[in-house]
Chain A
């Protein structure tokens, strides 16, 4: 166990240093900056190679592909490898909050973890009112942003129609110039209109709209160049923003919306639409993490993950047996469990949250970071280790269902200017509308949207209205004229079984399935 970095410190980082005859590698508690390492032999000498790019390893040493890693990247739900595994055999990625010390003979001689999430969690905080927590938290958040951005006088920030980006932008230092970016297929879309309204209220800003109508399926050379430069492909509709920065010099780019942390979006029991409605009325029941319930939780999670992987009879992977691929994958997930357990989350639902943070959030933020690094200086204060510690000290029931977020906007005087604006999720109603009315309207809007989608799919007509309010039109994005041609060009010597990609695309384009 590692005694944590002091509570006064903050940041998010990857770190490598030589010290006497050892090399020290470390990353922060979430660890989205990739750090890869390999202990190997070159010309009969032991070497430790450390890099932030996986491409570096084949250049320096002889490495083989890790088929278990490739299997995981190709077939897991969000296309990532679990634990420290990568797609190269013997090349490991540092785990969340890991500290490694490697000696000259190439042996890791010390491995420690920052295990301080939920450390300050206590049921005593029930005695503190939500209003007090909200005011204190926003003050803290502003300080986090000020620290992270203290070396800059301007930055680029993405604003959507929701509350998360609105809160993030509000926490920015007033003196910093904000280059707001948003995207859509048309400036008349509701999200874009709201983003514009939010921008007006921010002050010290410029507004930039990016048309993403023909961006989702780029030509192969664009993907190739970007992948080689960044080792990452992320949401393609951001490509115009990434390729054409609003400023000629490299600007900081604010990453990391607040969904993950403040509203406890990944706390189990609150994950689905049905859960949200149920927990709104019941408050949500949390299950204590015990010696009996935690192993059961692990078993269910592993079984759920494995059930989504391709079955033995449907795929043959590179000469590996199915049992080997699944067995190794389970070991990797266990490896991650052992780190989650070190943090001692008090409830099973918080185990869910941490598992999502250490997999989905960590990897998607890594991708965002890498792809933005090409033309920007990406920075993510909302995922600083101090912020994660702070947020995990708040009761889950106070975070979920936007309870804390709503209270921040209600209680913090400087944020009241945003109260009159609606959100894209609950259009037309100002944000200050009572919560139960918003829930009813959200339910109506969501039901109408689903009816419109069903009608559009029944008639196989992507040009029909598909939302109550005009918003980013995904069915039209899939009508991109050169999409199929471009997708076909991605498949070259198909070694990873993506041959069905064009037919998957056509199903969505022709509204036989919905993405």
Chain B
């Protein structure tokens, strides 16, 4: 696990991460901070609706992205586009 991703709705909420340093991980749950783990990363986030894990990979985002085809906001589509980084979906 070599990546740490920290996204908050409010910067001050992330102050609760101080608790992590005190090795009170369970306390993070009480602070409404989500912890998501994948093979190489751990994400701490208060952006509950903007963070999810799919196929063991973590996705965090802010803003909106519309793919123009399905008519919905789709960060999964953006994720596919960026992973190929040549502008074409896998």
Contact check, A11 vs B65: say whether CB atoms are below 8 A apart: yes
Interface members, chain A 13-33 (any B CB < 8 Å):
13-19, 21, 23-24, 26, 28, 33
Contact check, A51 vs B78: say whether CB atoms are below 8 A apart: no
Contact check, A28 vs B63: say whether CB atoms are below 8 A apart: yes
Name the contact of B10 in the complex, choosing from A4, A50, A229 (C-beta under 8 A).
A229
Q: Which of A8, A19, A102, A150 has the most CB of B within 10 A?
A: A19
- Complex CA gap A225/B13 in Å reads 12
Confirm or deny: A315 has a beta carbon within 8 angstroms of a beta carbon on chain B. no
Q: Mark A30-55, 1 if CB is under 8 A from B, else 0.
A: 00010000000000011111111111
Contact check, B62 vs A14: say whether CB atoms are below 8 A apart: yes
Contacts known (A16-B7, A51-B7); A59 close to B2, Cβ less than 8 A: no
Contact check, A228 vs B75: say whether CB atoms are below 8 A apart: no
Q: How many residues of A contact B (CB 8 A)?
A: 56
- Complex CA gap A4/B87 in Å reads 6
Q: How many residues of B contact A (CB 8 A)?
A: 46
Question: B-side binding surface: helix, strand, loop or mixed?
Answer: mixed
Q: How many A-B residue pairs have CB under 8 A?
A: 168
Name the contact of B4 in the complex, choosing from A24, A54, A55, A60 (C-beta under 8 A).
A60
Give, as a whole number of angstroms, the nearest-CB distance from A461 to chain B: 43
Contact check, A49 vs B6: say whether CB atoms are below 8 A apart: yes
Interface members, chain B 46-88 (any A CB < 8 Å):
57-69, 71, 73, 75, 77-79, 81-83, 85-88
Confirm or deny: A2 has a beta carbon within 8 angstroms of a beta carbon on chain B. yes
User: With a CB–CB cut-off of 8 A, which chain B residues contact A4?
Assistant: 87
Contact check, B63 vs A17: say whether CB atoms are below 8 A apart: no
Residues of A within 8 A of B (CB): 2-6, 8-19, 21, 23-24, 26, 28, 33, 45-56, 59-60, 99, 101-102, 104, 106, 110, 112, 147-148, 150-151, 225, 228-231, 373-374, 379
Q: Can you list 29 A-B contacts with CB-CB less than 8 angstroms, sorted by A residue number?
A: A2-B86, A6-B68, A8-B68, A9-B77, A11-B65, A12-B63, A12-B64, A15-B65, A15-B78, A16-B60, A17-B82, A17-B83, A18-B5, A18-B38, A19-B83, A24-B82, A28-B63, A47-B3, A47-B4, A48-B3, A53-B8, A55-B14, A60-B4, A99-B82, A104-B2, A106-B2, A148-B66, A150-B73, A229-B10
